[in-house]
Amino acid sequence: MTEVEIRGVSKRYTEAPILKGVDLDIHAGELFFLLGPSGCGKSTLLRILAGLVEADAGTVRFDGEDILTLPPEKRRTAMVFQNYALWPHLSVFENVAFAPRNSGYPKSRIRETVGRALEVVEMAEFAQRKPPSLSGGQQQRVALARALAAEPRLLLLDEPLSNLDARLRDAMRGKIKAICKARKLTALYVTHDRQEALSMADRIAVMHRGVIRHLGTPEEVYNHPGDCFTAKFLGDVNFIPGELGGDGTFRSALGVLPIAAENVSAGPAVGAIRPERIRFAAPGEAGFAAKLVGRTFLGESCEWDFESSGVHLVVREGAPPARRIGETYQLNFEPGFFMALPREDADE
């Protein structure tokens, strides 16, 4: 297991910087995710760690050792690419054997290392097949086996599931997570898919425009994001303009609302609440009146569109009962999940 320390890493290709002094710590044995939109710098940071791109400034240490001065082959990283990057003319065995053979392992150790890696990804029976004869999911498992056979200090995964269909993506998420944990690997996983990050990560760093906007566990970044960009990128959210008071309340067109968390000083702010955290008030329970103006049926749940005092709200309800468009209902915010966020990035 490897501790990774990233300090002040910067990179620019043209006038616009890609990375702006990124600081990050990845714990030993951690499955760490970089999550963000295309062009935010997450893949560039991954390639700097692998030695495929040179940083303009900063340091990267593996267990205290500065690795930016080392050539790629000395860093002991292994990357799983989005497009698999397998050699089509070589067998599965020969693809996976590439790193141990280049490391000068004896033949007996190569056979043992490759066999163990293929067993882990359940591809041992395909050892003599060529990659073009395999499905996309099988090729991705071979690519993962090749990375495991390199016995890396840090496993790097660059959008590894984006070329798979939804069913295979779901299956591979669990497999990758299980393999990383069973082998106690330190892994850095890059994706723009929030479901991948939320379902697999130990911790997530949300990146935007070359900086890390928020860092925490999946529960922390989803339920208590630090800004409006993070709130929107992690899932659907209702934004409510208003004023944060010094008494821990939020004043808006909906009335005076208690807040669970504040990442902004008293004054103009944006209230944020997830659609699944708005509930229908029980009979006799206090709440605010809202008119139902639309619905989107999603099978196991329904999204209801409400208007209240000029504020549009989306409410997500599981196992939804019949509700009538045009009717007025009493709504409440689930305690502990209404946040006050800085107003400046609400439109990003």
Q: Which residue has the tokens 């999204």?
A: 303
pLDDT, tens only, 183-212:
899 999 999 999 999 999 999 999 999 999
Res 167 pLDDT > 70: yes
pLDDT of amino acid 261: 65
Split at pLDDT 50, 70, 90, the class of 140 is confident
Instruction: Reply yes or no on whether the pLDDT at 170 is more than 90.
Output: no
pLDDT digits (tens, 9 = 90+) for 268-312: 899 999 999 999 998 888 889 999 999 999 888 999 999 999 999
Going by pLDDT thresholds of 50, 70 and 90, the confidence category of residue 346 is low
Residues ≥6 apart with Cβ < 8 Å to 167: none
Asked if the model's pLDDT at residue 233 lies above 90, the reply is yes
**Predicted confidence band at 347 (pLDDT cuts at 50, 70, 90)?**
low
pLDDT for residue 229: 94
Q: Letter for the amino acid at 159? A: E
Identical fold between 4-223 and 239-341: no
Architecture of domain 4-223: 3-Layer(aba) Sandwich (3.40)
Q: Where are the domains of the chain?
A: 4-223, 239-341
Q: Give per-residue pLDDT as tens, 243-270.
A: 988 777 899 999 888 887 666 777 889 9
136, pLDDT greater than 80: yes
Cα angle vertex 43, ends 37, 30, to 5°? 100
Does 239-341 carry CATH code 2.40.50.140? yes
CB contact set of 53 (below 8 Å; sequence gap of 6+): 11, 44, 47
What is this structure's pTM? 0.88
19, pLDDT greater than 90? yes
